Amino acid sequence: MSSKNLSRLALVAAIMVVAAVIVHLLVNRPAQTSQTNAYLIQGLNLDKVITIVISANDKSTHLQRQGKTFVVSEKSDYPAATDKINELFTETLDIQTKELVTDKPQNHPDLEVTPDKAQSIVEFLGPDANAITGVVLGKRTDNGDTYIRLMDSNDVYLCQNAPFVRTDPMDYIDQKLVSVKRDDIISVTVTDANGVTYTLESEPNSPDVTLAGGLPEGKKLSPRSTSVFTAPTSIRFDDVFKAGAEPGNPTFNHTFICRLNNSSQYILKLAKAGDKNYVSCSAVFTGPQEQMPDTKDSDEQIKKIQAQSQARDDIEKFNHKCTGWVFELPKWKADNLTKPLNDILEDIKPKQEKTGDTKPAPDAGSP
């Protein structure tokens, strides 16, 4: 064989070797380019989700569907906040992959995408607790990316927009209990365990409040009275229990009543057990019977009728939310709702006469 043919064979062999290497690399490289900016969860029918399980660090929260809403199993099936459920769905379904990191299960522990090491896990279950899909969120990188994978997949991706998943049961409950405007409050009445009662009333066109029936002699209202009067503008709870299941068997022997200018009246029964404070709530409408606006009514009268109708609706929703439940309050808020009369009074300090040098009056006989 001529040297020319040998050269050609050598060249062909070299090309075949290079081609084989390229084919090997193409076949075995991670298919990450096709996963860039792809949604991790695809095709999830939210109507099929019956249970959502959020877990982390051996703790878990179960959100169970009841009709069109969800309840929190760990809180005796107290209703979950719809906006927080929607937020969880949206943030989870918006997770996008950045690049494939590994498909080897042995690498999962180092990336913290195993059940025992994950920062959080969100599972979506269908009827009979059958798994639909789920997301495991693992360790964060130095640049803020997060390692993630589907529960039924070994593929681990980097994610740039991984959400912070809340894992406490109370994170999925609307903790707002009472929230009214300061200007709408007409009066508040506080009654202690001994039946001692006082009422603070709003002064017309003034931020000040007065004590109904007048002040004791030598006394005035302290700034603490404002904290009592404005307490209903924002009451939030820390925990919730089925009525009768609250710890410590507390006795509800304090009452706080808030009256609004739309004929609404909120009634709070308060109790203390150990270092915990509890409240049970109800509301009533004290205005006239419901009426429909008439074409002969003035604009002012129509607005008043509409306001009262809205007040009835608000009271109905409030009672639906509160009936059968007891709420744990933060201590500072409970203190403002049960403050005794002596704590909102202070002594009037006597006016001090001005002192200083005075010019003596001239003698009558002085020229």
Q: Please give the average per-residue pLDDT across 262-266, as a whole number.
A: 95
Relative to beta strand 185-191, strand 176-178 is unpaired
- pLDDT at res. 363: 53
Q: Please give the average per-residue pLDDT across 296-308, as a whole number.
A: 72
The answer to whether residue 253 scores a pLDDT higher than 50 is: yes
Q: Nearest to residue 163, comparing CAs of 200, 192, 120, 132?
A: 120
CA dihedral 185, 187, 193, 196 (to 10 degrees): 170
Instruction: Provide the residue ranges of all domains of the chain, joining segments of one domain with +.
Output: 33-172, 176-347
Return the bridge partners of 235, or none. Answer: 178
Relative to beta strand 156-159, strand 345-347 is unpaired
What's the mean pLDDT when you consider all of the chain?
86
Return d(Cα 211, Cα 271) in angstroms, integer: 24
The answer to whether residue 25 scores a pLDDT higher than 60 is: no
The answer to whether residue 241 scores a pLDDT higher than 80 is: yes
The answer to whether residue 336 scores a pLDDT higher than 90 is: yes
- pLDDT at res. 68: 87
The answer to whether residue 354 scores a pLDDT higher than 70 is: no
- pLDDT at res. 203: 86
pLDDT tens for 192-216 read 999 999 999 998 877 789 999 999 9
Distance of CA 344 to the CA centre of its chain: 32
pLDDT-based confidence at residue 353 (cuts at 50, 70, 90): low
Return the bridge partners of 241, or none. Answer: 326
pLDDT-based confidence at residue 102 (cuts at 50, 70, 90): very high
Residue that the structure tokens 């982390």 belong to: 56
- pLDDT at res. 296: 61
Q: How many residues does the chain have?
A: 367
Query: What percent of the chain clears pLDDT 70, i.e. is strictly above it?
Result: 83
